[in-house]
Structure 1
Amino acid sequence: MVTVLNCIAVDHNLGLVLVAALVCLFGSAVTLRLLRRSVDAPDGQRVGWQFLASVAGGGGVWATHFVAMLAYETPAPVSIDAPLTILSLVIAMAGLFASFLVSGIRMSRVFPALGGAMAGLAFSAMHYTGMFAYRVVGLVEWELGYVVASILLTVMFSTVSVALTWLRPVGAGRSWIAPALLVTGIVSLHFTAMAAFRVTPVAGSFPDIDAQAVVALALAIAVAALIILGAGLASYLIDTNAQADSRERLRHLAAHDALTGLPNRSSFNDCLKRSIGDARAGDTKFAIICVDLNRFKEINDTLGHSAGDEALRIVASRMADSLEDGEFVARLGGDEFAAVKPFVDRSEVHAFASRLSDVFNRPMRISSMDAEVGASIGAAIWPDDAEDLDELINDADLAMYHAKHAFLESVCFYDAGIGETVRKRRKLAEALRNALEHDQLGIYYQVQMSLSSGEVRGYEALLRWTHPQFGSIPPSEFIPVAEENGLVTPLGAWVLRRACQDAATWASPCRVAVNVSAVQFMDANLPRLVQEVLIETGLPPHRLELELTETALIRDKTRSLHIMRQIKALGVGVALDDFGSGYSSLETLRSYPFDKIKLDRAFVEGIERDRQSKAIVRAVLTLGKSLDIPVLAEGIETEDQIAILRAEGCDEGQGFLLGRPSPNVELATQGGPAPWEMIGYPSGHHRSVDVEDAAPSPIRRGVNA
């Protein structure tokens, strides 16, 4: 040991020794970091990292050796053998690469230690090859004991260093131990080997060694080595930053909705946990606000899913821009959003909900159309409504559904009564879905008669539902539930198929009128569905008439006109339902090829006593005659009404005076539809209105699901 220390202190240029030490420290740290990266890399990348580590490590160790060798102040002239010097560099890099490959074998924990031992041997081979390239003009002697000691020391320290690098868990502390051991092994190798090196000068005259040239050469080699190591370190840092960016992106993706960029359900749950902790610590409250878009399904069904996605992105961006400090909003899925609002006074929740409502009610441009989605907003307060978070979320959800059902424009706060009402409606929705799946619905038919001849022209199909437990449920109750839960379209398809099946069994070739909702009509597959049903049931196309309201047409006139022409090309009739109750645009009658106009019952009800209603009825009848479109009056309940309509020249009528709805079974037992006697006539034909029959037709409503 004394000899080694004496060799360092007396026989070396300490300045260059310091340069060599810095190169060794930097090189060892970079090499083991690159090797450590290969531990966690996939199989396809592991060899690449091992190669980079071997290049950086071999270059760093070689430069350390060469600079330290130049620091050795020999008493005799020196020359360097270039081929052997280059060979020593190749030995260092190739030997390290082989050792790292062996250390990466995962079959046993022995291989990292074996690879480390091979690295020590590679260092030793590099050192002594370099020493053979160090040509001294004099007698050179080697002390075998120091040579063996130098090899054993570097093998021992390299073995432990590489094994620690491979076997130490990721993120474990004291990451400096492995580089320190490697540096110790390299330093031990060089200076112990140099202590074994003995030079006896040969007498003679030789030129003096240019000390400045030696220093310059050593520094040049050190700079070159640092450049190599810097390239390795840059690769490591680039990959580290790329991995950090990837992890951040993955974390962001895991916590945010991919479509809108808003936080997702997982982030929402985390926010709730933080909110409840903050509320307890600060003795405050917070509100959970659930939001459901009212007309999103319309946009999806009429304009396509890409338009629906664009609507969600616009809404999400506007909501994010409207947030203030402490407020949080997330997309839970579909068209459902949720927000968290800490507050002291409940008016703050009202203000927040009002800002959100403004976002949803602002027009947006989608697919060259202006649209408003609107929203139903419900809120629940912690801890007033519930202390359990799951229960609180459910309460806010119930309040939101109540707001949707009640068409509330402001936020609806949860209370016990709301919870019971919404739970009942949800049960009803589930029962309706089950009834649709198991064919538990029924259709009644109401006669449509010629007012001039009394001949039965057709029947309108009306959906009825009798639940096994709840009994008869009027359309006015279950149709809104169907609209809220997206069941109107499948209900409409079911009614169309069943009505055509029934009509095909009638003895008399009367037509059957089937109402079509706005959502169903804007479905591009509707003409195909009609054609399939007609083929399936064998009903002639001219015996089917589809009734739709003007609401179904105004959203996209080009699209609706195209669909209507496809339907009429099949030979199916199209009637404008509830004329007078909506937009009643004359442009609609001019632009669309209707086969019939159905006058809304509201005008028929007042025709006996209201001059304005009578004037409107007369105007509509005149318009129909001018356009050569038959007019059917709905809701005829008295003989005075039918007398006035006949006098004004109304073509057809429908109402309880003419016939109440009845199931197809009754029509079949009567031998099929038969002409009614003229009204005027037997008083027994007068029908009183009952609650169930007075309910609006399920699909006639034309309300968007």
Structure 2
Amino acid sequence: MNAILTCLQSSHDPALLALAALAALVCALGVYGSSSVARHAGRVDGTARRRWAAVGIVAAGCTAWATHMVALLAFQPGMQSGFDPWMTALSLLLAVAGIGAGLLVVVGRRDASRRFAGGVVIGTGVALLHYVGQAAYVVRGVAQWNHELVAMSLLVGLPLFGLSLAVSGVRNRSMRAAGAPLLLLSIAVLHLGGMAALQLEFDPRIELPSSAVSPDVLAPAVAIICFGLLCVAVIGLRLTLHAKAVLRRERLRLGELANLALEGLAICDGDRILTVNDSLATLCGMAPAEFVGRSLRSLVPGRDLLALPEREEADADVVTPAGKLLPVRVLRSEVRLGGRPQAIIAFRDQRERLRSEERIAGLPAHALELEVTENVVLQSERTTASHLKRLRAMGVGIAFDDFGTGYASLTMLKQLDVTRLKIDRSFVREIETNRKDQAIVDAVIRMAEGCDLAVIAEGIETKAQADYLRGRLPEGQGYLFGKPMTAGSFSLFFVEPAEPIRRTG
């Protein structure tokens, strides 16, 4: 530490310490500009994404290089000095390549270990820039290195680079804000440690190489790059403001659409709730504004809804301001707002369903039959199969509706524990004259008999259809036997004698 302080006091001209402050300003502007451009690259697609990503990488490399060069220009060794042009150019290329390689490691990734590794790669590129750049700094004297200080700058600086990138990828906004200050600190550690490690001793016998570039000649080039970084920062600011305006409009529009939904909806940025619709606010007994900024975990304690598989339903409990738990069914999906992923959590009130289950619970299980279709099963095959298996274990019958119309009906028949097949009306409409329909229906009947399944034909509307099916099927349903009716008419309906094909609806 004393070596670093001595370096700052004796090796930087007090009149030129303003250049050191300028270096810090250049670094801050460059970090803001390059990170803003990189975030914009994540919001667009295709060629635009690649172009903006390239601009961000080059801007980040130039930021590190310009910061280093401004600080070196402020360095006053007390002897004639200059810069090797090829080594100086190489240091810039190493910075751009190192930062680009590090960003490739972390692009699209949020896991901390991957982002930490990418940060270390970026730090390695900046370290190469720094020490190759210092090697490009030539004087009329002998350069000696303090290897302990070099090692210290690397051992402290590189983990700080990794930590800054890991923190910038977390969902917590307050923690994410610490990424940029950590990045600035890591750059400062590398620079100050490296400068303190370099000791120069004047030797009048040594002349500067003929190819050495004077600091006065290099300064305008550095100034041009600094001006370019300022422009990038301004562009980054405009892109950020535009993205925020677009995000506000999209959130407002999505909120308006959400209010048309009957189910409760919450739009979240990580664990932070951005907005909810009126349905969810009514369910919880709160005003929509009370949800904004609230943690999703505090609304649904004990469940990490963000970890749910997308579009797979799960049971949960929503806590009200009074501390009451309301049973809900939740479903998570993702959308991109302003180029950023946002989670949409749907909440379905389960209180009426649970009350219905309690009423049904008083009936014998064998008196109940549940109809399922292929589309319902395919929406969540594993979950639906599990639920149906539990219902069958209770004795509830399972009828496979619209059998034969889907592309996976036979597969479903094998996987699901059904008790009845319902032949779709499309095979019954011309059953008395169409040989193909007759063959299909007969085949389904034989298959059902082989699998010990009951069979019922749907859509029987004419006496000719009933006459053909009589003797082949014990049950049928359709408008021939009954149409929608009042409760009183329904009671009288079953007083009449039954047809040979039993009426089932």
Q: What TM-score, normalized to structure 1? A: 0.34
Q: What TM-score, normalized to structure 2? A: 0.46
| Structure number, greater radius of gyration | 1
